[in-house]
């Protein structure tokens, strides 16, 4: 961003901010991660145009755009796959990207998939993208690059935006409370109950509002349906079971307990394609360094919310880490209002002996956005590296890599805390300031945003002091020695488009 100041104008453009506020709330934040994706010319100008659904097209050497369908992982930290909209990829295309130049392709509806099976051409979306376009997609939506058959490099910059507060009311031009399925959807599935539930969540109302409640006697059939290879049956069964509400809790808890004793909390081979949704087993649910994919019954318990919380709290102490992982995930997704007085039971898992449990508990705290002093103190310890049990002695020590993830998520949890309270906290401020000493640049930049939102004089001074010595002299961008003619022309054109749009 300091190197290309026009990108700051892009991120602050009213149209971009308005769209992100509609999806992620008024307190959304851009993560420090921003990544340019280049697709080099393939040198085959007369090559046939691939279809949108092609699975593994050839890409030119030096291209960063991955051509296979994949779901992203978060930079610097593995996180949870949420059905609720908690993060978005923001794709910026600075120049015209016709089909032969290789625009990004998307797999509509796949953000709700645990694995990328049962996919079809009908849901593959690929269009010519005009210069200056911004495409916003749920972070977990599968996408892929396309071969570049032109004679120029293709560029795209990807940002990640994050929700920092639970929705309590619509943040868009809201006119009709009842969900109506759009007529131009690209997904082959018809999932009115799923979409209505997620729509209600974004509106900040009860997830079951306006949804027909199935007979509780149907629960065994619905639990069985969650194991179907059909995405339609799996998702419909999941959300129908959740719509039953409190009477479904015991049955769903029983189904979750059936997944214990299988060592599912142990990370698979880091080279496994399952981390990006490519597992060949449709029932594959796992914890990995790149992501955590919860059990469908845990997702249903999170949708049910408050009636499920007391039983979920019991499972936080279960002997199998996999059960603890799923229980704390469900509590995070249930939200702060549903979890209520049990929020610090989530925080207590920050002392769990299993690092996988700590990481998912931290992600749940990011979703909840509120917690007590004991939890804040433990987050501070992570950020200050005052946790000897996780202090790896060498760069290759897996404990060190896990502690790096803890610190990243701890900074996000405190950003969420600051975004959800008007009450100052000396411990939170000190923890954020201590974060500025982190060797990884991401937690300090997240801490700077949190310090800005905290707004005290000491907080602002600390953030400014950190950023002052890390800025780039963008004025030098105009020097021919440092910037080519194409770069300067592109910067000028980008600024002109942004000025016109505002």
436, HSE (Cβ side, Cα atoms, 13 Å): 21
Residue 46 CA, chain-centre distance (Å), reads 38
Nearest alpha-carbon partner for 291 in 405, 379, 160: 405
pLDDT tens by residue, 452-462:
999 999 999 99
Length of the chain: 502
pLDDT tens by residue, 144-168:
999 999 999 999 999 999 999 999 9
pLDDT tens by residue, 473-497:
655 555 554 445 555 666 666 667 6
pLDDT at 23: 98
The answer to whether 40 touches 62, Cβ cutoff 8 Å, is yes
The answer to whether 191 touches 236, Cβ cutoff 8 Å, is yes
Residue 115 CA, chain-centre distance (Å), reads 16
Residue 439 has pLDDT above 80, yes or no: yes
Q: Is 59 helix (H, G, I), strand (E, B) or coil?
A: coil
pLDDT at 469: 85
Average pLDDT over residues 52-66: 88
Task: Please name the residues in contact with 352: beta carbons below 8 A apart, sequence gap of 6 or more.
Answer: 321, 324, 358, 361
Average pLDDT over residues 302-308: 99
Q: Which two tokens stand for residue 354?
A: 């299993």
pLDDT at 43: 80
pLDDT tens by residue, 337-385:
999 999 999 999 999 999 999 999 999 999 999 999 999 999 999 999 8
pLDDT at 78: 85
* Segment (H or E) for 495: helix 485-501
Residue 267 has pLDDT above 50, yes or no: yes
The C-alpha atoms of residue 495 and residue 2 are separated, in whole angstroms, by 15
Alpha helices (H) along 74-229? 192-203, 219-225
Burial-class residue 169 by CB neighbours within 10 Å (0-12, 13-18, 19+): exposed
Average pLDDT over residues 268-279: 59
pLDDT at 294: 97
Residue 69 has pLDDT above 90, yes or no: yes
Q: Is 204 helix (H, G, I), strand (E, B) or coil?
A: coil
Residue 315 has pLDDT above 90, yes or no: yes
pLDDT at 393: 57
Residue ranges per domain, the chain? 6-165
What percentage of the chain reaches a pLDDT higher than 90?
Answer: 73
pLDDT at 373: 95
Alpha helices (H) along 270-320? 296-304, 309-315
CA 308, 314, 317, 318 torsion: positive or negative? Answer: negative
Class of domain 6-165: mainly beta
pLDDT tens by residue, 377-433:
999 999 998 888 887 655 566 777 888 899 999 999 999 999 999 888 999 999 999
Q: Which two tokens stand for residue 44?
A: 């085959």
pLDDT at 165: 97
CA 385, 389, 393, 397 torsion: positive or negative? Answer: negative
Q: Is 200 helix (H, G, I), strand (E, B) or coil?
A: helix
Residue 35 has pLDDT above 80, yes or no: yes
> Rounded to whole angstroms, what are the CA distances from 470 to 1, 255, 389, 458, 478?
12, 51, 32, 19, 20
pLDDT at 475: 58
pTM, two decimals, is 0.91
Q: What is the mean pLDDT of the chain?
A: 90
């Amino acid at each position: 961003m300091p190197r290309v100041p026009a990108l700051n104008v892009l991120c602050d453009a009213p149209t971009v901010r308005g769209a992100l506020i509609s999806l992620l709330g008024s307190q959304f934040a851009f993560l420090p991660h921003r990544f340019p994706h280049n697709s080099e010319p393939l040198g085959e100008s007369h090559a046939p145009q691939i279809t949108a659904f092609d699975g593994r097209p050839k890409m030119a050497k030096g291209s960063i755009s991955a051509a296979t369908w994949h779901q992203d992982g978060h930079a610097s930290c593995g996180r949870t796959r949420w059905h609720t909209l908690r993060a978005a990829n923001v794709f910026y295309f600075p120049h015209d990207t016709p089909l032969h130049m290789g625009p990004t392709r998307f797999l509509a509806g796949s953000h709700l998939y645990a694995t990328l099976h049962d996919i079809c051409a009908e849901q593959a979306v690929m269009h010519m993208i005009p210069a200056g376009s911004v495409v916003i997609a749920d972070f977990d939506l599968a996408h892929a690059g396309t071969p570049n058959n032109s004679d120029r490099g293709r560029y795209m910059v990807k940002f990640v935006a994050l929700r920092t507060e639970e929705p309590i009311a619509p943040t868009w031009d809201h006119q009709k409370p009842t969900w109506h399925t759009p007529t131009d959807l690209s997904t082959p599935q018809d999932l009115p109950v799923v979409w209505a539930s997620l729509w209600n969540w974004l509106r900040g109302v009860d997830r079951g509002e306006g949804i027909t409640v199935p007979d509780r006697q149907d629960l065994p059939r619905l639990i069985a349906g969650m194991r179907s290879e059909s995405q339609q049956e799996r998702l419909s069964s999941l959300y129908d079971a959740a719509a039953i509400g409190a009477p479904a809790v015991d049955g769903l808890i029983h189904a979750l307990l059936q997944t214990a004793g299988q060592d599912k909390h142990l990370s698979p081979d880091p080279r496994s394609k399952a981390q990006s949704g490519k597992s060949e087993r449709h029932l594959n649910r796992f914890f990995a360094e790149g992501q955590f994919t919860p059990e469908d019954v845990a997702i249903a318990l999170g949708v049910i919310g408050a009636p499920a919380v007391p039983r979920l709290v019991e499972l936080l102490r279960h002997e199998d880490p996999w059960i603890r992982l799923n229980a704390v995930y469900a509590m995070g997704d249930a939200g702060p209002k549903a979890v209520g007085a049990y929020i610090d039971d989530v925080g207590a898992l920050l002392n769990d002996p299993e690092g996988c449990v700590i990481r998912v508990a931290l992600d749940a705290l990011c979703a909840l956005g509120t917690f007590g002093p004991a939890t804040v103190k433990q987050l501070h310890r992570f950020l200050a590296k005052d946790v000897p049990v996780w202090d790896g002695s060498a760069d290759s020590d897996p404990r060190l890599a896990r502690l790096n993830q803890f610190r990243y998520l701890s900074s996000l949890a405190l950003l969420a805390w600051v975004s959800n309270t008007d009450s100052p906290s000396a411990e939170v401020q000190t923890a954020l300031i201590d974060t500025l000493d982190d060797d990884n640049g991401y937690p300090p930049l997240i801490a700077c945003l949190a310090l800005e939102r905290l707004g005290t004089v000491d907080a602002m001074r600390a953030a400014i002091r950190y950023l002052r010595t890390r800025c780039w002299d963008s004025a030098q961008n105009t020097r021919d020695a440092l910037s080519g003619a194409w770069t300067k022309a592109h910067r000028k054109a980008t600024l002109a488009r942004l000025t016109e749009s505002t």
